[in-house]
Structure formats: structure tokens, C-alpha cells
Amino acid sequence: MADRDEEFDAYFRARRDAVRRTAFLLCGDWHRADDHAQAAFVALHRHWRRIRDRSSLDAWMRKTLVRSVVDESRRPWRRERVTDAPSPAVLVEGPADGVVMRHVLVDALRAVPPRRRAVLVLRFLDGLDVAATAEVLGCSQGTVKSQTADGLVALRAALGEAVDDLRPAR
């Protein structure tokens, strides 16, 4: 038990912030992100002994996290409705600083359906390739490719074609 907790503690300390960031871009809210991240870590602790391949922990956490967020988005009280019109916060004109850009992207991601949003977050925040993303989401690589393309289209629609120039020059 002590060994398990020590191992878990080390993993938790190493990965908590990354898991929170992934959860944040998946759901768009830091409080809910903490809820999802904590629930995923609790589930991980309960499954710890069964996950013999420690190199698969990150994949297990991502799968659990995505499932938690997508499931919540389907619940009656939290049902997400994708709209064609971006929220007012997205309609930023002209040059903007990094803070505004962060809000712009987060708001734009909210306009993307949850599964496609998950594909974008796994690929562009977590840096997974197509195969690893397909493994996490339990779908084919073709589905990941098409959802990446569709997700970027949706992102561009929300951002007014500014996605490629979104990041300020440094």
C-alpha cells in the first residue's frame, strides 16, 4: 500500500499541472477542469495496481479525462450546444496581446463539438500524433484525421480565419 502511494504520489506531482491544463482546454473552465482532473486522479489511484505498464499511465489518464469531459457535456444539465456564432469575446479585431489571445482561443474551442475539441487538444496541446490520439479516443486514425480537419475548420470559423496568425510574433 505504501509503495503504491509513493509511486502514485510521484506520478501525481509530476503530472498534475499538465493534466489540469489538458482538462482546462477540454472544458474551458478552470474550476471544472480541477473537478475533472481530480476525478481522473482518484480513478487512477483506484486502478493503480491493474495498470502494470507504467508507460501507459499518461494514455490512461487522457482517456479517462476525455471520457469525463465528453460525458459531462452530454448530461441534461450540462448539455453543450454548439452554435454557429462565436461568443462576443471572440470578435476581437486588430492586434491583441497574449492574454486576449488566450481568451480568444478558449472561447473558440468552446464552439467546437466536444469530440473534435478533444482531438485538437490532444494533438496540439499534448502533442500526440495521429496514432496516439486514435488510441486515446478509441477510434481509427482516419477518424482522427478527419476530426482534426473538421475541428480546425470549426476553429477557424469561430476565429474568423485568424487561427494561423493567432500567436503573437515574438
Partner 1 sequence: MDERDRDARLTATFQDAAQDAPPAGFDVAEVLATSRRLTRRRRSALAGAALAVLALTGVGVTAELAGGSETVAASSAPSRNGADAAAEPDARDADRAAGLEAQAAPAPRAAPHGAAEGESPLGPGMRECADRQDPQLRALVEQVLPEVEGAPEAPTTRECRPGGERGLALEVRDGDRSGVLTVTYLPPGASSDPASGARSAPTASGGTVVVSSRSEEAGDRPPFADRLDHVAAYLALRL
| Interaction between residue 30 and partner 1 (CB under 8 A) | yes
- What letter does residue 167 receive in the DSSP assignment? S
54 binds partner 1 (CB under 8 A): no
Measuring CA to CA, which residue among 42, 44, 24 is closest to residue 33? 24
Q: What is the dihedral of CA 62, 64, 66, 71, to 10 degrees?
A: 180
| Furthest CA-CA distance within the chain | 57
To the nearest whole angstrom, how small is the minimum distance from the Cβ of residue 53 to partner 1? 15
List 2, 3, 49, 97, residue binding partner 1 (CB under 8 A)? 49
Q: Which of 14, 56, 89, 138 binds partner 1 (CB under 8 A)?
A: 138
Identify the residue among 34, 60, 92, 157 touching partner 1 (CB under 8 A): 34
Instruction: Annotate 75-118 with DSSP letters as a single string.
Output: SGGG-----SSPPGGG---S---HHHHHHHHHHHHHTS-HHHHH
Applying CB under 8 A, which residues contact partner 1? Answer: 5, 8-9, 12-13, 16-17, 20-22, 24-25, 30-32, 34-43, 45-47, 49-50, 64, 67-68, 71-72, 74-77, 79, 98-99, 101-102, 105-106, 120-121, 123-125, 127, 137-139, 143, 163-164, 166-167
